[in-house]
Amino acid sequence: IGDRRVREDRRVLKGKMAHETKANLDEHYGVSASLIRLVYCWFGTFRSGHMSTCPSELSRRPLEVAIQVAKSLKKSMM
């Protein structure tokens, strides 16, 4: 089931643009939204098959903020 979900997520992501996602983040989070370079990095990570919304250990953001941003990013890309 997990492999099928990743394939479906990749199909959904294929048509989305990083700039659209960045605009959605700016709308919801304002000045604290992530940089466009980071959004491109997220797109690359998701497209490579890593679909987890858990933050990496190296993240410097508080855990609650990192999870919230990752979930909203994933929703905006679907």
d(CA 53, CA 73) in angstroms, rounded, equals: 9
Domain boundaries, the chain: 1-77
| Tens of pLDDT, residues 67-77 | 788 888 888 87
What pLDDT, in 10s, does the model give residues 22-77? 777 788 777 666 687 887 887 787 777 666 666 555 456 566 777 788 888 888 87
Determine the distance from the C-alpha atom of residue 21 to the mean position of all C-alpha atoms in its chain, rounded to a whole number: 8
- The per-residue pLDDT for 50 is 66
Report how far residue 43's alpha carbon sits from residue 73's, in angstroms, rounded to the nearest whole number: 10
At residue 1 the predicted structure's pLDDT band, cuts being 50, 70 and 90, is very low
Residue 67 structure tokens? 């999870």
| Token pair belonging to 43 | 């797109």
Q: How far is Cα 52 from Cα 49, in angstroms, rounded to an integer?
A: 9
